[in-house]
Chain A
Amino acid sequence: MKMPPFELLMPTSLEQALELADGFVAAGEEFDWIAGGTDLIPNYKWHLNPKANVISLAKVAEMSELSSTHIGGMVRLHDLSESEITHPLLKDAAGSIASVMIRRSGTVGGNICLDTRCYWFNQSEDWRESIEWCHKCECGTDADCRVIANQNTLCVATYQADLAPALLCLNATIHLASSKGKREMLLSNFFELDGMTRNVLQPGELVTHITLPPESSELIGCYHKLTLRESWDFPEAGIAAAWKLNGKEISALKVASTGLESIPRVHDEEVAAVLPDWSGKESIEILSEALRKSIKPVNNTGLKPNYRRKMVKVLARRCLNQIMHK
């Protein structure tokens, strides 16, 4: 498989990177950021929305800072999972991503911004041509979505990154930057429900780092995911949960999901319904069932959606049971 040619730019500072990006935006030219490249390069090889220009962040040193509350966008997943100061929940999630090889290259920022995936999209150009393209990579044909027929307003490709639910449970804040300035927001506000836009990033903007509130260290968390194989595979469902335990008092319970819909989601509503009368095992059962009901996967990955949905309940139950006994 041959990649289409592109120009690779290697800025050495964040400022320079944003300037370069600004140049492309001003000129109306499309470009991609590349961090570890473990998502972008395969997509380019498949000719999935390749751009003529690519800005590499590999030499932007200031994005690699790692502390217990600050995680640079360019921190390698492997470093995150191996570091002593990483929150145990993040360690778990990061250590479960793909394989060692990919974790050594892939980055935190890249994982959060992972492109959504779909059986009708992650295919070669010839293949997509023979199904007459799809909404997410239409190649100028105005093609419909191939998963949910006769519509081209929403892309339902699945978000299959592992870090997001863990970070969501820890109340992470995401920090963005562009030549126009910096902004920050709760990670839960970063994602936008559409498999194509995916998040709030504007052209020329990137994820510089993530911060965790200091009290996140008091949270006990757990991440479970569904994959066919222990290594390599993207999660077909993933549930993270975290809470604070004061004696027998439970507070700050968060549950988040990934691998099921176009974006990762925090399930505050379902939690709020059971938390006031928390009774351990029974509540876990009620909450797990509520989560199952609230999540609606579509048929675009390896395992069937009704099964993935049922597994939400099992994964949630396992997560909650596990943190209950931690």
Chain B
Amino acid sequence: MTDEEEMVGYKQQPGKIPFSRPGSGGKDQFSALQDDEMIPEGQGGKLSQPWGKHRHDELVTSTSIGNRTPLIDGCYKVTGQAKYGDDIRLSNELIGKILRSPHHFARIKSIDTSAAEALDGVIAIATGADASNTFGVLPVTKDEHALAVSLVRHVGDLVAAVAAEDEATALQALQLIEVEYEILDSIHDMKDGLEDSENPIHDRGKYHIGEANIQKRVFQEFGEVEKMIDNAEASHHSNWIFGGVNHGFTEPHATVANWDPRGRLTVYTPQQVPHYLHRSLADVLEIPMHQINVYRTFVGGGFGGKSDPFPHEMCAAILARKSGRPVRITFDREEVFLTNRGRHPSHIEMNLHADSQGRLCGVETDALIDGGAFASFGHVTTYYNGVLHTAPYEIGAFHYTGARVWTNKPASGAMRGHGAVNSRCAFEVGLDDLSDKLQVDPMTFRLANLLPPLSATITGFRITSTGMRECLEKVRKASNWDDRFRKLPLGHGIGVGCGFFISGSGLPIHWDPNKFPHATVHLKIDMDGGVTIHTGAADIGQGSDTVVAQSVAEVLGLPLDMIRVRSQETDTAPVDLGSYSSRVTFMNANAAISASMKIRQELLDATADITGADPAKLVIGDRRIYDKRDPAVGVSYLEALHKAQEERGALVASGAYRTPPMGRAHKGAAAGLAPAYSFSAYVAEVKVDVETGQTSVINVWAAHDCGKALNPLAVEGQIIGSCHMGLGQVLSEEMVYGRTGHLLNGNLLDYKIPTVHEMPKVFPIIVESNDPEGPFGAKEAGEGPLLPILPAVCNAVYDAIGVRVDELPITPDRMHRNIEKLCRAQGISDSLELETPTLKLSPLQELLANRAEEHEKRDIARRNNDDIEPYHNGALFGFTATLPADEQSEDWKVSVIPSQEYIDNPRLAGSAWKHIERRHRGDDA
């Protein structure tokens, strides 16, 4: 197979596309940039836009956007009226319980349910025979069943389900189900998954990779790979081990299924992706989608852990169909851990190289990730572990090998910061080490290597706005960095870390974006003047209902209490892909703005009709539409509305958002592609007890570039919440598997989520880079803020005691071992006498500081200038910025297939390429 054959890639745009200024949004008439004149003076005159103009500027009415707004559904939660999954009580309900596998890996020889069926109060029992169709969140890897068909793949895998009159009876019935198993050899160490196996956990048919348990493998090589080691002035090498972590959301999974008398199914469930569940239910139950209504209840936290269609949701529907009564299934915490979909346990090798001018001339990453028993989002995770650390820095070469293997554990999946967190941590710690070796300040090192706004990364991602530089500068100042870094006493330190994350995935999972939009919003306004928003975006506590309401309120100049959001039912909501990959604010608010603009135009036309004013000069204020040159000429909102409704009744409008064409054409180019990216920089201050190895984080200065804070209150909440979640992964959280392969800590006492005592003081700093593509300039704020906290803490630990962390979480026993090792290396017996790292600046520091200063000017010029030239990664290394480097040099590699030379001597995850896919093997097994 040649490179060319693999270059099928992104079907949206075969071949390369020229780099264009974003914000075009296709053929939309409202997308053209407007002049400052259009900003209503009555609303505060010309908008202060230090980051340049925005296509939504003319829509600003200063009523809602940017206000600190309590979430509109918050009052339901604090008064106890919010209905979560388990709060749905339908009359005549049955309780569903699930029989789970006691074995890691086994073949089911027989299931005898007769004794359970005979039990008084048992109404229905389901087994794998009741639903043999597979499903999965990604169409390419549908490998799950509602209930095990033939194989159980981990302890806790679903075997049978019972619906009974009450919980006690259901539990008793489970005990009466006789299952005969043939136990198979199980795999627990992810490294074993790379080897051929007699019974691979799944069989992918002709697509199976050898006979191994490799679910997905990725190879990517970009840039001057051959030269990076020769050019290196300093290199960093590390081998990381990351424990698996669970989302730890408050609400356990709970679902209620009911078939109504017309034969339609309603599934009530706290879901992040109702639409994918909708599709999966149709597949598994073999009924058309129009017969199913997915009702998203309030979601008691998701964080990615409720973004798969789940087997228990299928089970509830199957049991409800069999029994003819509503069935409710609620998990206990152990079942949540057995369902998992948390962050992948990973082995990551990270090698970084910097050249004599302090440029990042090479990044080599090898990531082996433990997928557990099912694919879930793993296909994407395998890519994300590599491609999501190709920015915000300009790099000379990028070499990535990644592999995801199946093991007999609960499946890993998507979790806040999906796929980016672990490798970002390794990467940013590597940068800290490089700056140590080059004897430069790590802040300056980063500032001198940033990609500018409106640029393309080494793998072809389109960076629109970036506030990376401002984030770094703000935390540097706020933390008093220059006076404290490498100057604090033993056990006390500060460290910096950065982040980069997608703001929505460029490619919808289930369809071609050229055919359907990513998000659609419907508006309806009747005579009462209130606006009903129909959207399928799932509010999982992140505030998506609020942000869509704010967007509509802003365009129409209405107070929030005139807006009502109907987002819970697929029966009424237009299709939305759901709440994952930080896409909701970006895509859904863009769709809402687009729908609102249509209503707005109708209101302006009606006002012009009544007043005879020039529609081009009309503006909207608070419930009033008037001539901006003469505010006395105008009508109230209701007058205009009723005029517009005269001939046709209620106003309705539909708006949609789709991503513009983007990216390169190599295989896997779409992974990590997003219409915009968020950036963040944190400084963490830690104290380490050198005698016990206990680490506590005291302060975190957290700057995040979210483009524009539509709701600063929610953005700050996301930053602080992300800090807490990331802190758990650094300090204490880990799913621990014992020597028998069982999860030892599947409960919230032994799975250590930080408490309020462990929480540092977080100083959220919002940076607004005014993204040209984002709604009113906004980008994501839900996931990206998690990334920097891990490396910031690890780097602060190094500053405090000189230990380079390479295993998370840094539990005190691990840290103590590291301290002992360091003591031995320094030849001392008392850890209180440890020498901490010092900073002696080399001449390179000045060069970097000057370059950072020049780049700052470059960046400001780029973001404020309409006629800018393209900027491709590589310019820092002497290539012409306007062309991709691979078009300028033969040495600049773009390859997604490993050479034989590499396969002969691969890294850990790279060894996945030693196997030949069955279809290429010739035997077509």
Q: How far is the CA of A5 from the CA of B168 in the complex (A)?
A: 10
Task: List the B side residues contacting A126 at CB < 8 Å.
Answer: 100, 102, 334
Known interface pairs A131-B742, A302-B752; A231-B691 also in contact (CB < 8 Å): no
Q: How far is the CA of A167 from the CA of B40 in the complex (A)?
A: 74
Known interface pairs A230-B755, A303-B811, A303-B812; A127-B749 also in contact (CB < 8 Å): no
Q: Is B732 an interface residue (CB 8 A)?
A: yes
**By CB atoms of chain B within 10 A, which of A120, A130, A308 has the most?**
A130
Q: Is A233 an interface residue (CB 8 A)?
A: yes
Q: Is A59 an interface residue (CB 8 A)?
A: no
Task: List the B side residues contacting A122 at CB < 8 Å.
Answer: 750
Task: List the B side residues contacting A310 at CB < 8 Å.
Answer: 816
Q: Is B262 an interface residue (CB 8 A)?
A: no
Q: Is the interface of A mostly helix, strand, loop or mixed?
A: loop
By size class, the interface of chain B is: 20 to 34
Give A277-315 interface residues, CB cut-off 8 Å to B.
302-304, 307-308, 310-311, 314
**A127 and B742 contacting across the interface, CB-CB below 8 Å:** yes
A225 CB to closest chain B CB (Å) equals: 11
**A119 and B738 contacting across the interface, CB-CB below 8 Å:** yes
A190 CB to closest chain B CB (Å) equals: 26
Give B754-793 interface residues, CB cut-off 8 Å to A.
754-758
A35 CB to closest chain B CB (Å) equals: 20
Task: List the A side residues contacting B754 at CB < 8 Å.
Answer: 229
Q: Is A228 an interface residue (CB 8 A)?
A: yes
Known interface pairs A302-B750, A314-B692; A130-B334 also in contact (CB < 8 Å): no
Q: Is B899 an interface residue (CB 8 A)?
A: no
B818 CB to closest chain A CB (Å) equals: 12
Nearest-CB residue, chain B, relative to A99: B755
Would you give the 0/1 interface string for B719-753, flagging 1 where the beta carbon is closer than 8 Å to chain A? 00000000000001000101010101110011010
Q: Is B103 an interface residue (CB 8 A)?
A: yes
In-complex Cβ contact of B744 among A1, A5, A119, A226 (8 A):
A119
Task: List the B side residues contacting A325 at CB < 8 Å.
Answer: none
Q: How far is the CA of A307 from the CA of B332 in the complex (A)?
A: 32
**B758 and A307 contacting across the interface, CB-CB below 8 Å:** no
Q: Is A29 an interface residue (CB 8 A)?
A: no
**By CB atoms of chain A within 10 A, which of B750, B811, B813, B816 has the most?**
B813
Would you give the 0/1 interface string for B803-823, flagging 1 where the beta carbon is closer than 8 Å to chain A? 000000001110011000000
**A228 and B752 contacting across the interface, CB-CB below 8 Å:** yes
**A230 and B758 contacting across the interface, CB-CB below 8 Å:** yes
**A130 and B155 contacting across the interface, CB-CB below 8 Å:** yes
A311 CB to closest chain B CB (Å) equals: 6
Task: List the A side residues contacting B334 at CB < 8 Å.
Answer: 1, 124, 126-127
Q: Is A232 an interface residue (CB 8 A)?
A: yes
Nearest-CB residue, chain B, relative to A314: B691
Q: How far is the CA of A304 from the CA of B334 in the complex (A)?
A: 23
Give A111-135 interface residues, CB cut-off 8 Å to B.
119-120, 122-124, 126-127, 129-131
Q: How far is the CA of A218 from the CA of B328 in the complex (A)?
A: 61
Give A229-257 interface residues, CB cut-off 8 Å to B.
229-233
**A2 and B813 contacting across the interface, CB-CB below 8 Å:** no
Q: Is B167 an interface residue (CB 8 A)?
A: yes
**B757 and A231 contacting across the interface, CB-CB below 8 Å:** yes
**A2 and B100 contacting across the interface, CB-CB below 8 Å:** no
Q: How far is the CA of A146 from the CA of B12 in the complex (A)?
A: 57
**A2 and B171 contacting across the interface, CB-CB below 8 Å:** yes
Q: How far is the CA of A129 from the CA of B99 in the complex (A)?
A: 13
**A232 and B813 contacting across the interface, CB-CB below 8 Å:** no
**A226 and B692 contacting across the interface, CB-CB below 8 Å:** yes
**A307 and B816 contacting across the interface, CB-CB below 8 Å:** yes
Q: How far is the CA of A46 from the CA of B436 in the complex (A)?
A: 51
Q: How far is the CA of A116 from the CA of B334 in the complex (A)?
A: 21
B439 CB to closest chain A CB (Å) equals: 35
Nearest-CB residue, chain A, relative to B104: A130
Task: List the A side residues contacting B333 at CB < 8 Å.
Answer: 1
**A228 and B167 contacting across the interface, CB-CB below 8 Å:** no
Nearest-CB residue, chain B, relative to A146: B740
Q: How far is the CA of A129 from the CA of B102 in the complex (A)?
A: 7
Would you give the 0/1 interface string for B83-114, flagging 1 where the beta carbon is closer than 8 Å to chain A? 00000000000000000101100000000000
Task: List the B side residues contacting A2 at CB < 8 Å.
Answer: 167-168, 171
Known interface pairs A2-B171, A314-B692; A307-B812 also in contact (CB < 8 Å): yes
**B812 and A230 contacting across the interface, CB-CB below 8 Å:** no
Nearest-CB residue, chain A, relative to B102: A130
**B755 and A311 contacting across the interface, CB-CB below 8 Å:** no
B827 CB to closest chain A CB (Å) equals: 20
**B757 and A229 contacting across the interface, CB-CB below 8 Å:** yes
**A232 and B746 contacting across the interface, CB-CB below 8 Å:** no
Give A1-28 interface residues, CB cut-off 8 Å to B.
1-2, 5
**A233 and B102 contacting across the interface, CB-CB below 8 Å:** no
Known interface pairs A307-B813, A307-B816; A232-B100 also in contact (CB < 8 Å): no
Q: How far is the CA of A311 from the CA of B817 in the complex (A)?
A: 12
A196 CB to closest chain B CB (Å) equals: 21
Nearest-CB residue, chain B, relative to A318: B691
Task: List the B side residues contacting A127 at CB < 8 Å.
Answer: 155, 334, 742, 746
Q: How far is the CA of A121 from the CA of B752 in the complex (A)?
A: 18
In-complex Cβ contact of A228 among B100, B168, B742, B811 (8 A):
B811
Nearest-CB residue, chain A, relative to B99: A126
A140 CB to closest chain B CB (Å) equals: 15
Nearest-CB residue, chain B, relative to A98: B749
Q: How far is the CA of A191 from the CA of B333 in the complex (A)?
A: 34
Q: How far is the CA of A123 from the CA of B102 in the complex (A)?
A: 13
**B755 and A1 contacting across the interface, CB-CB below 8 Å:** no
**B752 and A229 contacting across the interface, CB-CB below 8 Å:** yes
**B752 and A233 contacting across the interface, CB-CB below 8 Å:** yes
Q: How far is the CA of A310 from the CA of B691 in the complex (A)?
A: 10
Would you give the 0/1 interface string for A145-158, flagging 1 where the beta carbon is closer than 8 Å to chain B? 00000000000000
Task: List the B side residues contacting A129 at CB < 8 Å.
Answer: 102
**By CB atoms of chain A within 10 A, which of B732, B744, B756 has the most?**
B744
Q: How far is the CA of A215 from the CA of B755 in the complex (A)?
A: 39
B884 CB to closest chain A CB (Å) equals: 49
Task: List the B side residues contacting A303 at CB < 8 Å.
Answer: 811-813
Q: How far is the CA of A146 from the CA of B746 in the complex (A)?
A: 18
Task: List the A side residues contacting B813 at CB < 8 Å.
Answer: 303-304, 307-308
Nearest-CB residue, chain B, relative to A5: B168
Task: List the A side residues contacting B816 at CB < 8 Å.
Answer: 307, 310
In-complex Cβ contact of A231 among B168, B755, B812 (8 A):
B755
B321 CB to closest chain A CB (Å) equals: 26
Q: How far is the CA of A229 from the CA of B755 in the complex (A)?
A: 7
**B749 and A228 contacting across the interface, CB-CB below 8 Å:** no
B20 CB to closest chain A CB (Å) equals: 51
Q: How far is the CA of A226 from the CA of B692 in the complex (A)?
A: 9
Q: How far is the CA of A123 from the CA of B740 in the complex (A)?
A: 14
Would you give the 0/1 interface string for B244-286, flagging 1 where the beta carbon is closer than 8 Å to chain A? 0000000000000000000000000000000000000000000
Q: How far is the CA of A311 from the CA of B690 in the complex (A)?
A: 12
**B749 and A232 contacting across the interface, CB-CB below 8 Å:** yes
Would you give the 0/1 interface string for B292-309, flagging 1 where the beta carbon is closer than 8 Å to chain A? 000000000000000000
Q: How far is the CA of A119 from the CA of B739 in the complex (A)?
A: 12
Task: List the B side residues contacting A302 at CB < 8 Å.
Answer: 736, 745, 750, 752, 811
**B755 and A130 contacting across the interface, CB-CB below 8 Å:** no
Nearest-CB residue, chain B, relative to A310: B816
Q: List 26 A-B contacts (CB under 8 A).
A: A1-B334, A119-B744, A127-B155, A127-B334, A127-B746, A129-B102, A130-B155, A131-B740, A229-B732, A229-B755, A229-B757, A230-B755, A230-B757, A230-B758, A231-B755, A231-B756, A232-B749, A233-B752, A302-B736, A302-B745, A303-B813, A307-B693, A307-B813, A307-B816, A310-B816, A311-B692
With A126-B102, A230-B755, A302-B736 given, can you name 7 additional A-B contacts, CB distance below 8 Å?
Answer: A226-B692, A228-B812, A229-B758, A302-B752, A303-B811, A303-B813, A307-B813
B residues at A contact (CB < 8 Å): 100, 102-103, 155, 167-168, 171, 332-334, 691-693, 732, 736, 738, 740, 742, 744-746, 749-750, 752, 754-758, 811-813, 816-817
* Closest 9 pairs (CB-CB, A-B): A230-B757, A130-B102, A307-B813, A231-B755, A1-B332, A304-B813, A303-B813, A314-B691, A119-B744
